[in-house]
Amino acid sequence: MSSDNVVFLEVVEWFDHDGVELAHRIPERGSGEIKFGAQLIVRETQAATFFYKGKACDTFGPGRHTLTTANIPILTKILAAPWAMTSPLRTEIYFTNLKIFPNLKWGTRDPVAFRDSELGLIRLRAHGVFNLQIVQPALFISTLVGTMQRYSSAEIEEYLKRVIVSRFNDHLGSELDTLFNLPGRYEELSAGLQERLQEDFSHLGLALNRLYITSITPPPEVQKTIDDKSRLGVISDLDRLVKLKAAQAMEKAAESQGAAGNGLGMGMGLMLPSMFSSALQPQAAHQGSGAATAAPSQSNCAECRGVIPAEARFCHHCGHQQVVLQQCQHCGKNLTPNARFCPQCGQPSDTAPPAPVCGRCQAENLPGSMFCNQCGERL
């Protein structure tokens, strides 16, 4: 965008050259004097939130848009003489990147406490990846970006890691009783954790597009206990093991030359059917069927969650505006601009709920936590 010009109108656009920026402000040096009739160009993977006189006015989708301000070429400069030729009608445009940011890492910096029904209180480490996407640009800017010139995925990744680990501890404590039942449940635990985190992300104008748990690792001594139990599980079918060893021994003897070998081979042929009739029973194969999940062509209303067209600005079910500027920190209700109290819970809109404190170790946890991140005690 050409800046500091007196006569010409601006053409405002932005390109993400490094692929890691979530939001970018135009002008980069601060606020500007974007004139009446300036052109705003928004790409398919972008949204642009227009700030005029310090307030968010609207969020624009893909296309070319004509901006309306009170800054008139030449005339504004003359009228701004008392302010050192600087117009007090300040404007900023925040571009947000609506693409999916994949392969963001999360993991436990310190082991988290888990109360196992068979092993007692143990500490686990977990790691995984998640995909992030901005769904409410105006809410994202007002809650996280503020007046920063640029905001990248690295600046929010650390905070989101701590939120994921806290909810992971709650989810694991309510869905898993012992680590011996963990194999085969990674996909189920990942889907449940993703659903549990959606509300936390929505308060920031974000959506958790996908989350994967790649590993859950207990301490070495617990791993040894699990290995020992696995060995006992294999040896427990002792009858089948003995029959298999006996069959192998008879097969080797039958391969030997001479009359003894021929006789043993004939005897083995008569004994094998009855010997393995109980051990090697045919089992029916069970095949699972999975339905492919088609990507939704429509979106959900931010208020009533009804299905609406992706480009809709208002919900035809409840009439709610789809550009969310602020949410109640207590109940998550979408608030109107300049609201001082929440119409749903009555709490002040500028106060946050207190952090729950564990009664056992006095550690603070995220609001809504079910288990303590330090000692594993239920809150």
Residue 3 scores a pLDDT above 60: no
E strand or H helix at 78, and its extent? Answer: helix 75-79
More confident residue, 40 or 233: 40
E strands, 135-259, are 150-152, 206-217
What mean pLDDT is reported for the chain?
80
What confidence tens digit (pLDDT) does each residue in 167-177 have? 998 888 888 88
* The two three-digit tokens of residue 227, written as one number: 């290995």
Q: What is the pTM of this model?
A: 0.63
Inter-residue contact 100 to 132 (CB < 8 Å): yes
pLDDT of residue 285: 43
Residue owning tokens 């640029």: 150
Is the peptide bond preceding residue 296 cis, with omega within 30 degrees of 0? no
Note the CATH architecture for domain 100-233+365-379.
2-Layer Sandwich (3.30)
Domain ranges in the chain?
Answer: 11-97, 100-233+365-379, 303-348
What confidence tens digit (pLDDT) does each residue in 137-191 have? 999 999 999 999 999 998 999 899 999 998 998 888 888 888 888 888 899 999 9
Residue 270 scores a pLDDT above 50: yes
d(CA 250, CA 265): 8
Confidence of residue 260 (pLDDT cuts 50, 70, 90): low
d(CA 92, CA 147): 10
- Could you tell me which residues come within 8 angstroms of residue 182 by beta carbon, excluding any fewer than 6 positions away? 176, 216
d(CA 134, CA 122): 37
Q: What is the DSSP string of 84-144?
A: TT--S--EEEEEEE-S-EEEEEEE-SSPEEEEETTTEEEEEEEEEEEEEEES-HHHHIIII
Confidence of residue 259 (pLDDT cuts 50, 70, 90): low
Q: How far is CA 199 from the centre of its chain?
A: 10
